[in-house]
Amino acid sequence: MEVIIQSDSEKGSEIAARLIARQVREKPRSVLGLATGGTPLALYRLLARMHRGEGLDFGSVTTFNLDEYAGLAADHPASYHHFMEQNLFKHLDIPPAQRHIPDGLAKDIPAHCEAYEKAIREAGGIDLQLLGLGSDGHLGFNEPGSSLASRTRIKTLTERTRRDNRHNFSSAEEVPHHVITMGLGTITDSRMCLLLAFGKAKAHAVRLAVEGPVTASVPGSLLQFHQRAKVILDEEAASELERAGYYRWVYQNKPPWQIDL
């Protein structure tokens, strides 16, 4: 696990954008795993800017999103289909047939989840998986206690997670209780995991995920076992790390050829 600490979220997002751009340039048919929420918004704006201003071509890229609310139609304003269309897809040239998001209205959810896993395998597996970190340490919607080997499936949200996502809905009662999410095993099958965490509210979860024991109680801690995981933080999110000084030293003293690898 490489921990990269930057002064603010904008600088952290710039590093993430360069990593994704490099992945796409070196492998135009890359398979990207995508995330939603407030954390990747600056990153998505930067990728759109690279596409417009630098000709970064996403036309051969395939994407798989981490999750979707069960029971929400794709056109619901709080759905992740809607989020991705508004914040990324309409700004890039990824063909619709190459974009994959779990279907919140799937009639047979177990079969749909198996099909989603199959589609990832048939695409060649995920080259780079973008991740956020929940305030309780969850990845995707794999709540604390999730199996570290889990695959795409339906999950019941904790009340804490429902409260954290309340701002996307008109009322607390409208927040779904269930989601379809990639499993932790699915996530860690990715060739590279890129986790972004910004703000003081994430500091405790970051400390547990990066420096605590690997445990199902903190799903994000599983990334400690990943061969190529990068964790990009701002100073606030890194504020509880005991070895923050060491992480800064390592990043600042990397050989030039390792930058953005």
Positions annotated as catalytic residues are 67, 136, 138, 143
Report yes or no: 177 and 162 within 8 Å, Cβ to Cβ. Answer: yes
Q: Are 176 and 158 in contact (CB under 8 A)?
A: no
Sign for the CA dihedral angle at 27, 29, 31, 32 comes to positive
Q: Contact 246/3 with Cβ under 8 angstroms?
A: no
Q: What is the DSSP string of 214-254?
A: -BTTBGGGGGGG-TTEEEEEETTTTTT-TTHHHHHHHHHT-
Cα separation, 227 vs 122, in Å, equals: 22
Q: What is the DSSP letter of 108?
A: S
Q: How far apart are the first and last CA of the chain?
A: 13
> Hey, which residues does 155 pair with through a beta bridge?
179
SS (HEC) of 151-200: CCEEEECCHHHHHHCHHHCCCHHHCCCEEEECCHHHHHCCCEEEEEECCH
Cα-only R_g, the chain: 17
Q: How many CB atoms lie within 10 A of CB 138?
A: 27
- Other beta carbons within 10 angstroms of residue 215's beta carbon come to 15
